[in-house]
A and B are shown apart, each in its own frame.
Chain A
């Protein structure tokens, strides 16, 4: 039986020093919805863990605020808090929608946005809108601070591109209040399902033409990322079902180009095309039933 210690630092300084001292044997503890399961199953990544550092008492990781035109989202914000935040609803509604689809009420009450991202799963629902928002993670350690684009937090060979001792304090992104956004998720059932695939989309229009677009699918690439080829195709165009269907095809072409043809491609290709098209239609406010 491994000897595990528990620490609940009261200040960020204390926390970062503890993480630095313990190096790779410390694990930051947020909502616990993944870590508790890994701890009990004593999975590979837990074997070297000797210290749980509970982040619950650190004010720097809490709160959702607007500073100028930038939204600051504390890493310890729970999915329930994010889904119900009037500030997020005004400035990044598809992030609220994504948070609302995670797990069940019980999971959303405990699990945090920071944990959702830092657990490193490409199926993390909130990662898709965060990437679409070009969100930056504010990463701190005892030796300093750096800002990392959310997509760059994911390492190519699974896991996170964070050094031992580094901690994500918050996510920072520009307000998307001038954009129209949407989030669609395909799971095995409505509640409690891990995404089989999801798409976060955002559009900006002026005089009926698209001036900027974001398409960020989840569970499609090895790590969360945008589909710039499809985004570029939309700029300057008038929103239409045909145009968005083409963006869907460009997205699936990008998926095949990056990941190759796999056993799942026959399923994923039409599903991704349909999800991208529908997400864009919804963002554009075009009736998908018509």
Chain B
């Protein structure tokens, strides 16, 4: 076992975790944050994407024990006071999902992109979500939604 002291969605969390525990399992099983999905389990599909210290990572291949002091944001950390985050709303408005299993991961990849680069090019959006596989809708609506979310964020900042 290893002791873990980190922050999840702004709240401090103290836990003892098995040395080989994955962040994904800690989020889902110990903290009940089941918005983060397990797809492939080997870091290829991106369904389990969360943000660790500002960077998008696959929580299925992230060692929980190594996260002491880290700040983790999951899909549950995005909506505020019952209101969806701009990216979530844009995904809805652009019909950028069907079954929705890949969506939390896509939203987290998009958030990491827009937090670091508020005005991405289409190519940069494509690169940011290249590690998120969707088997239903395809990617055009997702790319449109992320571009739109970038615009809405910029507008909100001007207000």
Enumerate chain A interface residues (CB-CB to B < 8 A).
Answer: 4-6, 8, 29, 32-33, 36-37, 39-40, 52, 54, 56, 80, 103-107, 109-110, 190-192
Contact = CB atoms under 8 A, between A and B. Distances in A.
A110 B58 contact: yes
Interface of B: 2, 18-20, 22, 41-44, 46, 49, 55-58, 60-63, 65-66, 68, 109, 112-113, 127-128, 130-132
Given A6-B2, A6-B65, A8-B66, A106 B42 contact: no
Given A103-B131, A105-B109, A106-B58, 18 more contacts: A6-B19, A29-B63, A36-B43, A36-B61, A36-B63, A37-B61, A40-B22, A52-B20, A54-B63, A105-B112, A105-B127, A105-B130, A106-B56, A106-B109, A106-B131, A110-B61, A192-B44, A192-B131
Contacts of A106: 43, 46, 49, 56-58, 109, 131
A40 B25 CA distance: 12
CB-based closest 7 A-B pairs: A104-B131, A191-B130, A6-B19, A36-B61, A109-B55, A6-B2, A4-B19
Given A4-B20, A52-B19, A29 B130 contact: no
Contacts of B128: 105
A99 to B, nearest CB: 13
30 contacts: A4-B18, A6-B65, A6-B66, A29-B63, A29-B66, A32-B66, A33-B43, A36-B22, A36-B62, A36-B63, A37-B42, A40-B20, A40-B22, A40-B41, A52-B19, A52-B20, A54-B65, A80-B55, A103-B43, A103-B131, A104-B44, A104-B130, A104-B131, A106-B43, A106-B46, A106-B57, A107-B58, A110-B58, A191-B127, A192-B44
A190 B127 CA distance: 10
A262 B18 CA distance: 45
A54 B20 CA distance: 12
Given A105-B56, A106-B109, A33 B65 contact: no
A106 B109 CA distance: 8
A18 to B, nearest CB: 14
Nearest to A31: B61
A190 B58 CA distance: 19
A191 B62 contact: no
Contacts of A105: 56, 109, 112-113, 127-128, 130-131
A191 B131 CA distance: 7
Given A105-B56, A110-B57, A32 B63 contact: yes
Nearest to B53: A109
Given A36-B22, A37-B43, A109 B56 contact: yes
Contact of B130 (A33, A36, A192): A192
A212 B3 CA distance: 54
A106 B133 CA distance: 12
B131 A107 contact: yes
Contacts of A32: 61-63, 66
A110 B66 CA distance: 12
Contacts of B56: 105-106, 109
Q: Which residue, of A103, A105, A190, A191, has the highest number of chain B Cβ atoms within 10 A?
A: A105
Contacts of A33: 43, 58, 61
Contacts of B19: 4-6, 52
B131 A52 contact: no
Contacts of A80: 55
A4 B18 CA distance: 8
A29 B2 CA distance: 15
B49 A52 contact: no
Contact of A110 (B42, B62, B65): B62
